[in-house]
Amino acid sequence: MRSNAETHSPSPRVGAIIVCAGKGERTGLEYNKVLHYIGQKTVIEQVLDAFSASDVSRTVVVCAPADETRIKELIAPYANVAICTGGDTRAQSVLNGLKALPCDIAVIHDGARPFVSPALINACIRSAISHGSGIAAVKAVDTVKRVIDGKVTSLPRSELYNAQTPQAFVYKDILHAYNTARGTFTDDAEVYERAGFSPVLVDGEYANTKITTVGDLMLTTPVGAKIGVGFDVHRLVEGRPLILGGVTIPYNKGLQGHSDADVLVHAVMDALLSAAGLPDIGVLFPDTDGKYLGISSMLLLDEVSARISEKHSILSVSAVIMAQAPKLAGFISDIRKSLCKRLKIDEARLNVSATTTEHMGIIGSSDAIAASASCLLTEHHG
């Protein structure tokens, strides 16, 4: 075994190369799978969260030119993360990443493995520092058959491991291996082996799966989704502003209430609290408490958002405003933006519609406005 483990300093510079340049055609998505949302974050953000919490000091995300704009937006909040352009093959993409990130220890990781833990990343790094490489691998669970010309041979399962990423190496060794590599390879350790090195395995994690197929994406859909429903109605009176979803609507009447009486926000809050298993707004913000007199419901929404986000992420919110007048169609877009901004979610996750009640009842006579909201929450991973 060739190893240069003895040649580097006690505090090596550790760089990570996250490979995201694949097309991911087997997922059936029309976009790169690293941009797929799992809960409130994309696959690539979950990967970067794990790497940010590890001993890696700098990261480069290797991506296809078509994804650069979106990936630049997603990496913006992370310190010491840059992007570089991928190549036609995974090997070319890794080589581009290595050249873009000179370091002492290089950790190579598939962008489509979002469940990697910081502990596993660090274990691979430690192995590379001590032994020249550290390859995450798990013992094979299935029996593997080799088929050559129709003849089936069972391979001894006790000798077999499934290689994962991260795979960590002494930088100059893996750079040399990629620079001299010829042929096709399925992982970095294979390139390293072909250059004459002996990779060292590190205990991987079975949860550290790679998203490859549509089925894998279905498995990432949270099974613990919780539904919530909220409803509210307030009387329309003269001498009050009309505020819906934090947006002031020009009208000669407004909603009566202890707070600003934002009936839409009240319904949304009750839906979120209900799904999270928390008490409703009548309990949390009682109208007998003077501190809520005239308060903006958006401030109450901030508090509800903080409470539910301790354990939950918002998958989806859908709300309907029931009002005979005024006409709300022209304000829906602003209302939607206002709520999304406050809840810190993409507009794809929240929608608002409006309806009349065909002049029937207290809403139809323009004496009241009601709102109903539904939501789906998921509990955080771990």
**Residue among 63 and 243 whose Cβ is closer to Mg ion:** 243
C-beta of residue 108 within 8 angstroms of C-beta of residue 84: no
What's the min distance (Å) between Cβ of 264 and Mg ion?
Answer: 10
Q: Residue 155 carries which side chain, given as an amino acid letter? A: L
User: Rounded to whole angstroms, what are the CA distances from 98 to 12, 15, 294?
Assistant: 16, 9, 58
**Residue among 190 and 232 whose Cβ is closer to Mg ion:** 232
33-41, 194-202, 227-235, 286-294 -> range binding Mg ion (CB under 5 A)? 227-235
What's the min distance (Å) between Cβ of 255 and Mg ion?
Answer: 8
Q: Which residue is nearest to Mg ion (CB)?
A: 266
What's the min distance (Å) between Cβ of 370 and Mg ion?
Answer: 10
**Residue among 18 and 265 whose Cβ is closer to Mg ion:** 265
Size of the residue set binding Mg ion (CB under 5 A): 2
Q: Which one, of 344, 210, 222, 179, lies nearest residue 272 by Cα? A: 344
Pattern 323-362, binding to Mg ion, x per CB under 5 A?
Answer: ----------------------------------------
**Residue among 67 and 232 whose Cβ is closer to Mg ion:** 232
What's the min distance (Å) between Cβ of 287 and Mg ion?
Answer: 9
Instruction: For the segment 248-277, give every residue that binds Mg ion (CB under 5 A).
Output: 266
What's the min distance (Å) between Cβ of 308 and Mg ion?
Answer: 18
128-136, 183-191, 224-232, 246-254 -> range binding Mg ion (CB under 5 A)? 224-232
48-56, 74-82, 226-234, 300-308 -> range binding Mg ion (CB under 5 A)? 226-234
Dist. CA 135–CA 202, nearest whole Å = 5
Q: Which ranges of the chain does DSSP label H, i.e. alpha helix?
A: 43-52, 68-75, 90-100, 118-131, 171-180, 188-194, 214-220, 263-275, 281-284, 297-308, 332-343, 361-364
Dist. CA 275–CA 284, nearest whole Å = 15
- Beta-strand pair 105-110/14-20: parallel
**Residue among 60 and 300 whose Cβ is closer to Mg ion:** 300
**Residue among 266 and 336 whose Cβ is closer to Mg ion:** 266
94-102, 134-142, 229-237, 301-309 -> range binding Mg ion (CB under 5 A)? 229-237
What's the min distance (Å) between Cβ of 259 and Mg ion?
Answer: 7
**Residue among 16 and 301 whose Cβ is closer to Mg ion:** 301
Burial tier of 7 (Cβ tally within 10 Å: 0-12, 13-18, 19+): exposed
Q: Work out which of 67, 188, 232, 270 binds Mg ion, going by CB under 5 A.
A: 232
Number of Cβ atoms within 10 Å of the Cβ of 160: 14
Tokens 């580097």 -> residue: 8
Q: Which ranges of 195-331 does DSSP label H, i.e. alpha helix?
A: 214-220, 263-275, 281-284, 297-308
The dihedral through the CA atoms of 20, 25, 26, 32 has a sign that is positive
Structure tokens at 223: 């099974």
Contact footprint for Mg ion (CB under 5 A): 232, 266
